[in-house]
């Protein structure tokens, strides 16, 4: 590789280095070579006119479900990576709850080899905490880490056994990786189908109380304090959880948290008349929880915006609400929904970008997420003024399960570069030959 | 043609028009024409309910319709067929209306989005049971005239009760005050937003009620620890003969049936002078005739 690429006159936002202004960015050999306030003259460089565009570090999604191996009808690593780069993501963390659970090097290596073959974005596998996600015995964490897993999680399920959870945090200190937790006390969520509140009562749907999440957050923070491990709380959704994480961070605990665009955008009323596209786990919460998440995104309590991209087939959703499968696809709507917080005055542009880049990189210790000299040339170009309507039929993801179909968003990804190579441009995937 | 999915969203005038129509469908009333002659009404009962099914069947037949009775037992549902597949197959036989009872809240709403004929909710999960609420309001209106200013006390398992939800909405729309009472474990949050006042003190609430509606207690809730035992439930929330003494002299007692005698309702009260339980059953046919007439 020798490719010289010059991003000319774009608004560079690099929150890690406190940059927000017009710059030229030169890329050489897949890395950032120079960031300059003054215009650069470089012979032989491919010039990308970035005037009117934001030039950002590639986005990093700590939480996606790529479904392969096992449920390739919903998504494959290839189609998931297409959706990722179309959404401006240059790196994703793939959850282990595939139909062949990623609890061994064999599956980790399969995921990595498919991702290499796709040649679109970085895919970092997450390994299981427990064998088969059964919540009974620890999976071989050492093997998973040496095969390439960047964190462990039983996502989709909580680790209900507190002693096992405690040991997984302790044992993970061997490898200095985060333990990512799906916080749900199953005895409290029970048969519930949506969050407790007036909408659940009106619809006659059995309620999931916020305590199902908050009590587990409390438990795991107590365990974390004893073990000294690293805890990452997935898809945090409740006011009470946010308050506890804020307090734990203040006391210096090694905890990070992510929030999804659907949880910081929609409240329980989005269920409407039993719309299964608004069914997810954790469920959409009340307006005050949405407000608490927004505040926590702004004040740093939440480290990352993660999509929990969860593809499902049409028939999984075209059923009775309580039978409806949980989850929404999120990669291709994340930027627009995040920028809505900027338009609403909740986040500064720099904070919004941080939550999609440096925030997640820092939480998991991943490369990228910034544009300093020497950083990987993972770059996302955004047209902040472009208005568009979400059309699920045009998703690159194999699945269309979104509650945002038809929603008007402002701000779209125009180009995505990974390692100095253009992988998405103006609505088209640039497949490698 | 329109659906009847729930009382939610109905305006007072619409309810009153339907209840007026039901008057005409009472035995000896003016609505004797067999308006559904040559048509088919399909009863789809994914969950057992002899009395609601029979009531709809009577209503449809006396309007001249043929009734297709479909039940989940031994059907393709037990072989894993989806709700929509089942319903589309039945719709293909050409009914004017589907009367649906289902254990999942919102099942009729799902069906209504995918069929062309009318969908009538005959009770969905813990959501609504609109025909029951309409016949309850009809029964009260025949005793009282307008419901404005009257207080109806609904007692028991509000959390799991579709009858309670539909009644709160219907009675409030008609101008009545609704108070719900039960153990805190069976009172969901958000009842105020639905229009009900909430209390856990039955003895204090009883003297102010113009009618008391006892809900059927599903006995399996005991094993889920919503309350310690049916014995204790009866002690705290059962309408015993002694409690009935505290009611206003002319206050009525209602029950959607079937009754757990001696649990939520003492036999002497169920069969006593205040009870309008059998009137509810009789009025059910007239109200369902009106529903079928309007929807088909
Ligand atoms: Zn999860």
Tell me the per-residue pLDDT of A354-398, one tens digit each, with 9 for 90 and over: 999 999 999 999 999 999 999 999 999 999 999 999 999 999 999
What CA–CA distance (Å, rounded) separates A46 from B62?
81
| Tens digits of residue pLDDT in B105-153 | 999 999 999 999 999 999 999 999 999 999 999 999 999 999 999 999 9
Closest Cα in chain B, distance from residue A297 (Å): 28
The answer, yes or no, to whether residue B256 has pLDDT greater than 90, is yes
Tell whether B107 is within 8 A of chain A (Cβ).
yes
Chain A positions touching B101 (Cβ under 8 A) are: none
Chain A positions touching B88 (Cβ under 8 A) are: none
| Tens digits of residue pLDDT in A1-40 | 468 999 999 999 999 999 999 999 999 999 999 999 999 9
Backbone phi, then psi, for A132, in 5-degree steps? Answer: 65, 15
| Tens digits of residue pLDDT in B37-81 | 999 999 999 998 899 999 999 999 999 999 999 988 766 666 778
Interface of A with B (CB under 8 A): 193, 196-207, 273-274, 315, 318-323
Q: What is the A366 CA–ligand 1 centroid distance (Å)?
A: 21
Q: What is the B57 CA–ligand 1 centroid distance (Å)?
A: 46
Question: B140 preceded by cis ω (within 30°)?
Answer: no
Q: Which residues pair with B40 in a beta bridge?
A: B66
Q: What is the A133 CA–ligand 1 centroid distance (Å)?
A: 12
Q: pTM of this prediction?
A: 0.95
Specify whether the CB–CB gap between A71 and A385 falls below 8 A.
no
Closest Cα in chain A, distance from residue B15 (Å): 19
Tell me if residue A308 is catalytic.
yes
Closest Cα in chain B, distance from residue A318 (Å): 8
Cβ count within 10 A of residue A70:
13
| pLDDT per residue of chain A (433 residues) written in tens, 0 to 9 | 468 999 999 999 999 999 999 999 999 999 999 999 999 999 999 999 999 999 999 999 999 999 999 999 999 999 999 999 999 999 999 999 999 999 999 999 999 999 999 999 999 999 999 999 999 999 999 999 999 999 999 999 999 999 999 999 999 999 999 999 999 999 999 999 999 999 999 999 999 999 999 999 999 999 999 999 999 999 999 999 999 999 999 999 999 999 999 999 999 999 999 999 999 999 999 999 999 999 999 999 999 999 999 999 999 999 999 999 999 999 999 999 999 999 999 999 999 999 999 999 999 999 999 999 999 999 999 999 999 999 999 999 999 999 999 999 999 999 999 999 999 999 999 987 6
Q: Which of B110, B167, B218 is the best mutation test for A, with the most CBs of A within 10 A?
A: B110
The residue of chain B with its CA nearest to that of A209 is B189
Percent of chain B with pLDDT over 70: 98
Closest Cα in chain B, distance from residue A206 (Å): 8
Specify whether the CB–CB gap between A30 and A90 falls below 8 A.
no
Asked if B188 and A199 come within 8 Å (Cβ–Cβ), the reply is no
Asked if B125 and A322 come within 8 Å (Cβ–Cβ), the reply is yes
Tell whether B198 is within 8 A of chain A (Cβ).
no
Which among A232, A211, A210 is positioned nearest to A221, based on CA atoms?
Answer: A232
What CA–CA distance (Å, rounded) separates B269 from B265?
7
Asked if A274 and B110 come within 8 Å (Cβ–Cβ), the reply is yes
The pLDDT assigned to B78 comes to 66
Closest Cα in chain A, distance from residue B193 (Å): 6
Cβ count within 10 A of residue A137:
12
Q: What is the B190 CA–ligand 1 centroid distance (Å)?
A: 27
Partner residue facing B189 (CB), from A201, A322, A323: A201
Q: Which of A193, A198, A201 is the best mutation test for B, with the most CBs of B within 10 A?
A: A201
The residue of chain A with its CA nearest to that of B106 is A274
What CA–CA distance (Å, rounded) separates A397 from B224?
41
The pLDDT assigned to A1 comes to 45
Specify whether the CB–CB gap between B205 and B246 falls below 8 A.
no
Chain center to CA of A262: 12
What CA–CA distance (Å, rounded) separates B281 from B267?
17
The answer, yes or no, to whether residue B1 has pLDDT greater than 60, is no
The complex's ipTM works out to 0.93
The pLDDT assigned to B33 comes to 80
- How big is the CA angle at A296 (ends A294 and A302), to the nearest 5 degrees? 115
Chain B positions touching A205 (Cβ under 8 A) are: 105-106, 125-127
The residue of chain B with its CA nearest to that of A286 is B190
Specify whether the CB–CB gap between A155 and A96 falls below 8 A.
yes
Chain A positions touching B189 (Cβ under 8 A) are: 196-198, 201, 207
What is the arrangement of strands in the sheet containing A231-233, beginning at the earlier edge strand? A59-64, A89-94, A122-127, A151-153, A179-181, A231-233, A255-259, A304-305
Question: Given A154, A155, A185, A308, which residue is catalytic?
Answer: A308
Q: What is the A96 CA–ligand 1 centroid distance (Å)?
A: 11
Partner residue facing B127 (CB), from A204, A207, A318: A204
The pLDDT assigned to A2 comes to 60
Pairing of strands B118-124, A379-389: unpaired
Specify whether the CB–CB gap between A292 and A301 falls below 8 A.
no
b/e for A146-169, b at 16 or more Cβ within 10 A? Answer: ebbbbbbbbbbbbbeeeebbbbbb
The pLDDT assigned to A433 comes to 61
Asked if B109 and A199 come within 8 Å (Cβ–Cβ), the reply is no
What CA–CA distance (Å, rounded) separates A188 from A206?
11
Asked if B82 and A207 come within 8 Å (Cβ–Cβ), the reply is no
Partner residue facing B109 (CB), from A197, A201, A273: A273
Asked if A320 and B102 come within 8 Å (Cβ–Cβ), the reply is yes
Asked if B107 and A320 come within 8 Å (Cβ–Cβ), the reply is yes
Q: Residue A128 carries which DSSP code?
A: -
Please report which helix (H) or strand (E) contains residue A341, including its range. Answer: helix A334-343
Chain B positions touching A319 (Cβ under 8 A) are: 82-84, 110
């Amino acid at each position: 590789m020798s490719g010289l690429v010059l991003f000319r006159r774009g608004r560079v936002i690099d929150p890690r280095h406190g940059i927000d202004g017009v710059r030229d960015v030169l890329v050489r050999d897949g890395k950032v070579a120079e960031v300059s306030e003054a215009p650069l003259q470089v012979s032989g460089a491919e010039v990308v006119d970035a005037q009117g565009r934001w030039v950002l570090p590639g986005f990093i999604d700590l939480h996606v479900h790529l479904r392969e191996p096992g449920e390739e009808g919903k998504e494959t690593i290839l189609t998931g990576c297409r959706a990722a780069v179309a959404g401006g993501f240059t790196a994703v963390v793939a959850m282990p709850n595939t139909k062949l659970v990623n609890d061994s090097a064999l599956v980790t290596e399969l995921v990595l080899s498919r991702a290499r073959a796709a040649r679109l974005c970085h895919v970092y596998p997450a390994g299981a905490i427990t064998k088969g996600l059964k919540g009974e015995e620890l999976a071989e964490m050492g093997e998973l880490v040496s095969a390439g897993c960047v964190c462990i999680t039983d996502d989709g399920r909580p680790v209900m056994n507190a002693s096992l959870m405690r040991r997984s945090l302790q044992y993970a200190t061997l490898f200095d990786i985060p333990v990512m937790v799906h916080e749900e006390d199953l005895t409290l969520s029970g048969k519930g189908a949506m969050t407790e509140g007036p909408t659940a009562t009106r619809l006659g749907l059995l309620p999931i109380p916020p305590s199902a999440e908050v009590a587990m957050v409390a438990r795991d923070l107590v365990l974390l304090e004893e073990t000294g491990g690293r805890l990452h709380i997935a898809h945090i959704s409740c006011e009470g959880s946010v308050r506890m994480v804020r307090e734990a961070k203040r006391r210096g605990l090694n905890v990070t948290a992510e929030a999804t665009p659907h949880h910081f955008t929609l409240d329980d009323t989005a269920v409407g008349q039993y719309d299964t596209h608004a069914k997810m786990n954790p469920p959409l919460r009340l307006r005050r929880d949405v407000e608490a998440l927004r505040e926590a995104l702004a004040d740093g309590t939440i480290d990352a915006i993660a999509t929990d991209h969860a593809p499902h087939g049409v028939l999984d959703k075209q059923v009775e609400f309580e039978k409806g499968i949980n989850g929404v696809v999120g990669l291709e709507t994340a930027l627009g929904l995040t920028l809505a917080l900027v338009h609403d005055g909740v986040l500064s542009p720099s904070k919004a970008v941080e939550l999609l880049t440096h925030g997640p990189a820092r939480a998991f210790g991943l490369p990228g997420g910034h544009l300093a000299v020497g950083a990987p040339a993972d770059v996302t170009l955004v047209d902040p003024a472009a208005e568009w309507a979400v059309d699920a039929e045009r998703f690159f993801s194999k699945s269309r399960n979104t509650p945002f179909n038809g929603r008007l968003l402002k701000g779209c990804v125009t180009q995505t570069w990974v390692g100095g190579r253009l992988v998405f441009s103006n609505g088209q995937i640039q497949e490698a030959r | 043609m329109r659906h009847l999915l729930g009382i939610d969203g109905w305006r007072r005038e619409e309810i009153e028009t339907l209840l007026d129509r039901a008057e005409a469908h009472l035995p000896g009333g003016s609505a004797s024409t067999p308006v559904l002659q040559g048509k088919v009404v399909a009863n789809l009962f994914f969950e057992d309910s002899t009395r609601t099914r029979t009531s709809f069947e009577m209503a449809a037949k006396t309007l001249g319709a043929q009734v297709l009775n479909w039940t989940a037992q031994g059907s393709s549902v037990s072989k894993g067929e989806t709700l929509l597949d089942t319903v589309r197959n039945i719709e293909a036989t050409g009914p004017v209306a589907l009367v649906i009872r289902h254990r999942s809240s919102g099942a009729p709403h799902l069906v209504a989005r995918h069929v062309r004929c009318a969908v009538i909710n005959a009770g969905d999960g813990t959501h609504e049971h609109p025909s029951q609420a309409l016949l309850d309001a009809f029964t009260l209106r025949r005793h009282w005239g307008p419901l404005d200013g009257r207080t109806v006390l609904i007692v028991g398992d509000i959390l799991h009760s579709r009858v309670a939800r539909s009644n709160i909405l219907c009675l409030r729309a008609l101008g009545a005050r609704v108070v719900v009472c039960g153990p805190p474990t069976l009172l969901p949050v958000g009842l105020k937003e639905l229009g009900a006042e909430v209390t856990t003190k039955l003895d204090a609430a009883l003297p102010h009620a113009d009618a008391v509606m006892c809900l059927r207690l599903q006995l399996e809730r005991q094993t889920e620890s919503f309350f310690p035992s049916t014995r204790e439930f009866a002690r705290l929330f059962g309408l015993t003969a002694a409690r009935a003494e505290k009611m206003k002299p002319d206050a009525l007692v209602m029950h959607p049936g079937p009754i757990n005698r001696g649990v939520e309702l003492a036999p002497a009260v169920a069969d006593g002078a205040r009870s309008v339980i059998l009137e509810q059953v009789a009025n059910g046919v007239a109200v369902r005739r009106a529903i079928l007439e309007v929807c088909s």
